[in-house]
Structure 1
């Protein structure tokens, strides 16, 4: 299986690069620069594509050209940015800078659509083409969050997933949207999960759990797929 992880240099993306795949698989990381601290997993071929999705059209072309000949089975789109004071009690929509809001839409929505459009012809050549979008509980109805632009961008991911399924169901394209709650990205996958789960005292999700969910989704047969999955922290009062 050939799997691409977009936003792979740190946090959840890095954990996915370290936790996905089996012997003989290929993992393709996409980031602005290749991380110096990354150690490939034995038996899994690792490739890197340097592309800045803050410039969606240019990045999408670079990424498409890099995989056009080698093929691709799964795209994991894990890139997303948010307002400067998002998830802070000081957040105010009226104080958001216009340029920053445009950048959020550009990265979280425009780049997602353009890259999928470029990669879809390659993905559809696979026997089991899959797209996994890492969304947020902020993209759910009555999410309890006030961040307007970030929330709108995560709502958009769910719309993208639904529309792609309608358009490419006959070609067996499985599109999954993961609605993730607050993550503990400080503890890497190398830290024991028993310790990572203590960080946040029940209010943060260790990246280990997200990697486990993605591994499960990719382990299914070509006859099924996970449409949508919500993963909140155990003490998240919104869910």
Structure 2
């Protein structure tokens, strides 16, 4: 199995690179720079593509060329940016810079669509093609969050997923949108989960749990898929 993780240098993306795959699999990480000291699963091959998704057209071309002719089974699009004061009580939409709003939409929506368009021909050649989009509970109706650009971009991910399912159902393309709550990205995958789950005292989700869900999703047969999954923290009062 060949799996590409976009936004793989830190946090959840890094955890996915380090936690997925088994002997014979190939993992392809994508980020602006390759991080140091990566530890991938035993027997799994790790490759890296350096590309800045803030420059959507250029990045899509670099990534496409890096994997052209080699095939791809799964694309995990984990990249996303947010407002400077997002998730802070001081957040104020009217104080957001226009240029920052444009950057958020470009990175979170435009880059996603352009890259999927470039890689889709490769994916559709797979016997079990999969796309996993890491969304957010901010993309759900009545999410309780005021961040306009970030929320809009996560709503858009669900629309992208719906449209792709309808357009490529006969090619058995499985598209999953993970609506994730607040994550604990400070404790990496090498931190014992029992310790990582203590951070936030029930308000933060260990990356270990998300990796486990993605493993399950990728283990399914070609005749089923996870359409959408919402994963909030246990003490998140919005849910």
How far residue 39 of structure 1 moved from its aligned partner, in angstroms, is 2.5
Q: Is 1:196 aligned to 2:192, yes or no?
A: no
The count of corresponding residues between Structure 1 and Structure 2 is 239
CA RMSD of aligned residues (A): 0.5
How far residue 22 of structure 1 moved from its aligned partner, in angstroms, is 1.2
Q: Which runs of 5+ in 2 are unaligned?
A: none
Report Cα offsets for 1:144-189 as digits up to 9, x if no partner.
0000000000000000000000000000000000000000000000
Report Cα offsets for 1:189-215 as digits up to 9, x if no partner.
000000000000000000000000000
Paired residues of 2:15 and 2:211 also in contact (CA < 8 A): yes
Please give the alpha-carbon distance, in whole angstroms, between the structure 2 residues aligned to 1:36 and 1:114: 28
Aligned to 1:10: 10
Please give the alpha-carbon distance, in whole angstroms, between the structure 1 residues aligned to 2:40 and 2:22: 12
How far residue 124 of structure 1 moved from its aligned partner, in angstroms, is 0.2
Aligned to 1:173: 173
How far residue 41 of structure 1 moved from its aligned partner, in angstroms, is 2.8
| SS across alignment from 2:102 | helix
Q: Is 1:53 aligned to 2:53, yes or no?
A: yes
Aligned to 1:184: 184
User: 38-47 vs 94-103, which deviates more?
Assistant: 38-47
How far residue 220 of structure 1 moved from its aligned partner, in angstroms, is 0.3
Report Cα offsets for 1:65-102 as digits up to 9, x if no partner.
11111100000000000000000000000000000000
Please give the alpha-carbon distance, in whole angstroms, between the structure 2 residues aligned to 1:40 and 1:78: 18
Q: Which runs of 5+ in 1 are unaligned?
A: none
Please give the alpha-carbon distance, in whole angstroms, between the structure 2 residues aligned to 1:106 and 1:214: 26
Using the size of structure 2 for normalisation, the TM-score is: 0.99
Please give the alpha-carbon distance, in whole angstroms, between the structure 2 residues aligned to 1:117 and 1:82: 24
How far residue 36 of structure 1 moved from its aligned partner, in angstroms, is 1.4
Q: Is 1:118 aligned to 2:118, yes or no?
A: yes
| SS across alignment from 2:235 | coil
| SS across alignment from 2:15 | helix
Using the size of structure 1 for normalisation, the TM-score is: 0.99
Paired residues of 2:22 and 2:41 also in contact (CA < 8 A): no
